[in-house]
Amino acid sequence: MKRILVTGGAGYIGSHTVVELLDVGYDVVIIDNLSNSNEKVIDGIEKIVGRRPEFIKMDCLDMDGLRKVFINYPNICGIIHFAASKAVGESVNIPLHYYKNNIVTLLNLLELIPEFGVEGIVFSSSCTVYGQPENLPVTEDAPVQPAMSPYGNSKQINEEIIRDAIHAGLPFKSIILRYFNPIGAHPSAEIGELPNGIPQNLVPFITQTAIGIHPEVSVFGNDYNTPDGSCIRDFINVVDLSKAHVIAVERMLENKGDSLEIFNLGTGKGLSVFELLNIFEKSTGVSVPYRIVGRREGDIEKVWADPVHANKVLGWKSEKTIEETLISAWEWQKKLAKTKN
């Protein structure tokens, strides 16, 4: 079996991707410092797949520890790098933490790749690199705009680091996946989004409010230049997103395509915050109180993907409807509530 190292593999997107990797026969080693995740996620992965990934609690900033992982688990042929701090608003307030955590971890991995003969790395990037695009939907050819947050800037810098390393002749391939807005949970309700503290993302805040943890959802601004005044995003099911990583790994290991490739992962459809709230209420039958507050620094007004490149080249496309995606998030939230009770 081919072995894949998944950094941040106990996190939200990471854990769903580990499920998909195990499901098609890969061996998986997870590194995660559990700063925004929980080790119980590994149990959920095992319940879904019937196989347990190797798990190492460790920080990717620890270069000596990382080297030991490659020594102890030989024949790691590919890496999927999720490990990063990921909240736009928080990054504005603690930028140095974001730059250190998101950039140095990648540098450490890239230094070890040639030493241990790793064939390639799939990098978890973001649509934030496009800033506020001039044209929508946004394609991979759209210019990378000056970042509106340290989080977005860290993703831009990491993309440039990978590009420069490959241009310099380092012997590895890379596929950069630019996500739009992942939401939902595994249909088994064994794993899902599990933020520590107050959620920074919209859907877990909605589900937590719906179940009574918060009194209301804060809608950050209703005066944007959109049909209903709220921000517009491209919300993609996390399982659909995870399947794209398996395709990317296989493409990389089969040495297809160029040394560096970039793909947008989205549905191609934008939904506003108010539209999402409305669909959640209709799909679940649960009303969600909300309050309009001021705009949040670093937020982009509207963005959604043109996923045609990924559709054609990877043979991948999003398949889940927004309704079933929101229902999966709600089922996960209800399961969490039962577990705590």
- Domain count along the chain: 2
Q: Which long-range contacts (CB under 8 A, 24 or more apart) does 315-318 make?
A: 315/247, 316/243, 316/244, 316/247, 316/265, 317/240, 318/236, 318/237, 318/240, 318/241, 318/265, 318/266, 318/267, 318/268
Q: What is the mean pLDDT of residues 143-149?
A: 88
* Residue at a domain's end among 221, 244, 265: 265
Residue 136: inside a domain? yes
Domain of residue 304, CATH code: 3.90.25.10
Mean pLDDT, the chain, integer:
95
Give yes or no: residues 96 and 220 share one domain: no
Give yes or no: residues 118 and 251 share one domain: yes
User: In degrees to the nearest 10, what's the CA dihedral of 61, 152, 89, 223?
Assistant: -170
* pLDDT at residue 341 tops 70: no
Residue 195: inside a domain? no
Does residue 133 contact residue 90 with C-beta atoms inside 8 Å? Answer: no
pLDDT band at 259 (very low <50, low <70, confident <90, very high): very high
From residue 77, give the alpha-carbon distance in Å to each of 23, 41, 119, 121, 260: 18, 24, 5, 9, 17
Residues pairing with 262 in the sheet: 176
d(CA 260, CA 175): 6
What pLDDT score was predicted for residue 1?
81
Residue 23: inside a domain? yes
Give yes or no: residues 301 and 229 share one domain: yes
**Terminus-to-terminus CA distance in the chain, angstroms?**
40
Residue 117: inside a domain? yes
Domain hosting 284: range is 202-233+268-340
For the stretch 192-226, pLDDT in tens is 998 877 888 899 999 999 999 999 999 999 999 99
For the stretch 96-144, pLDDT in tens is 999 999 999 999 999 999 999 999 999 999 998 998 899 999 999 999 9
Residue 188: inside a domain? no
Q: Which of 12, 26, 98, 151 is catalytic?
A: 151
Q: Which residues of 202-212 are buried (b: 16+ CB within 10 A; e: fewer)?
A: bbbbbbbbbee
* pLDDT at residue 315 tops 90: yes
Give yes or no: residues 73 and 97 share one domain: yes
Residue 252: inside a domain? yes
What pLDDT score was predicted for residue 286?
97
Give yes or no: residues 94 and 150 share one domain: yes
Q: What is the pTM of this model?
A: 0.96
Give yes or no: residues 177 and 299 share one domain: no
Label residue 330 exposed, middle or buried (CB < 10 Å: 0-12, 13-18, 19+): buried
Q: In angstroms, how far is CA 196 from the centroid of its own chain? A: 16
d(CA 2, CA 159): 26
Of 188, 185, 314, 308, nearest to 239 (Cα)? 185
DSSP secondary structure code for residue 128 in this structure: G
Domain of residue 104, CATH code: 3.40.50.720
Q: Establish whether 151 is a catalytic residue.
A: yes
For the stretch 5-42, pLDDT in tens is 999 999 999 999 999 999 999 999 999 999 989 999 99
Give yes or no: residues 9 and 124 share one domain: yes
The total of other beta-carbon atoms located within 10 Å of residue 196's CB is 10
Give yes or no: residues 250 and 277 share one domain: no
Cis peptide before 137 (omega within 30 of 0): yes
What pLDDT score was predicted for residue 132?
87
DSSP secondary structure code for residue 305 in this structure: B
Give yes or no: residues 110 and 150 share one domain: yes
d(CA 167, CA 146): 23
Q: Which two tokens stand for residue 145?
A: 């705009």
